[in-house]
Amino acid sequence: MFLRLFFICFSITFFGCREIIPVEEEQNISGYQINGFVTDASGNPIESVKVYLSYDKIKISSIPLDTVPLYISDPNINVSVDVLNIRNEFVANIFTGNLPVGPVPRYNWDGEIDSNNFVPSGYYKVVIYFNNQQVKEYPIVIEGNKTAESNKKGEFFIFNENLPIGKVYDRYDYLNRYIGTYKIVETVLLELEYKNIIKRGYVSLNINKVTKVSITL
């Protein structure tokens, strides 16, 4: 069975724009996976194509998951705010220090680890500690970041840890205002960048299957 694909693509130069063509699913796995193959118009594999990943999602509630406020009662409490990945591994520290008495602000994060170094798209957790004791956590989804890059054979791979299908999280805007609670669904947007060419396409996924896509730039 061939997957349906809706695509929007463009090129910064006047090169022709071609569809991202999905091929049939095969090979049973646990979760989700995308195997990609990138070639030029002559069928030659292209190395060093950057692949950026975004998620399709649906709004499921106008009431946030996180409704319990956290307060500082003693300004001497040491507060630490870390980010963990989906495997509960440390990724970054957002804040360490003391806060005044009162509510603890909600910490947002854009996925930057250090200057111009960003994590791949995926599902992460913000974890708050008081005096090294965890007191709160909430999910955050990072998307639109580089998640894969093609090798010498023109291959790229996006694994289950970067495809958090079914995850639910609260979305906030850049001013940290609640937008709604959303669920990630089985459609992702791939954006491929190579030199002065950019191409985008939506790909539908199925659970426990490898989805293969062949892309011509």
Tell me, yes or no, whether 146 lies in a domain: yes
Q: What is the pLDDT of residue 17?
A: 45
The total number of structural domains in the chain stands at: 1
* Neighbour count for residue 127 (Cβ, 10 Å): 19
Query: How long is the chain?
Result: 217
170-178: long-range pairs with CB below 8 Å, 24+: 170/64, 170/65, 170/66, 170/138, 170/139, 171/141, 172/106, 172/108, 176/106, 176/108, 178/64
Q: What is the pLDDT of residue 26?
A: 63
Paired tokens of 171: 């979305």
In a domain, 205, yes or no: yes
pTM for this prediction = 0.85
2 within domain boundaries: no
Residue 28's pLDDT is 82
Domain limits for position 100? 10-216
Listed in sequence order, the residues at least 6 apart from 138 whose beta carbon sits closer than 8 Å to its beta carbon are: 65, 66, 125, 126, 169, 170
pLDDT values of the chain reduced to their tens digit, one per residue, 217 residues: 434 444 434 333 333 444 554 555 567 889 999 999 999 999 999 999 999 999 999 999 999 998 889 999 999 999 999 999 999 999 999 999 999 999 999 998 989 988 788 999 999 999 999 999 999 999 999 999 999 999 999 999 999 999 999 999 999 998 889 999 999 999 999 999 999 999 999 999 999 999 999 999 9
β-bridge pairing 90-97 and 122-130: unpaired
Residue 208, CB half-sphere, CA atoms under 13 Å: how many?
2
* pLDDT, position 3: 40
CA distances from 154 to 7, 37, 124, 169, 210 (A): 21, 5, 29, 34, 17
Assigned domain for 143 exists: yes
pLDDT score for 8? 39
Asked whether residue 86 is domain-assigned, the answer is yes
Is 4 contained in some domain? no
- Rounded-to-integer distance, Cα 206 and Cα 172, Å: 28
Residue 22's pLDDT is: 57
Looking at the domain assignment, is residue 5 inside a domain? no
Structural domain includes residue 3: no
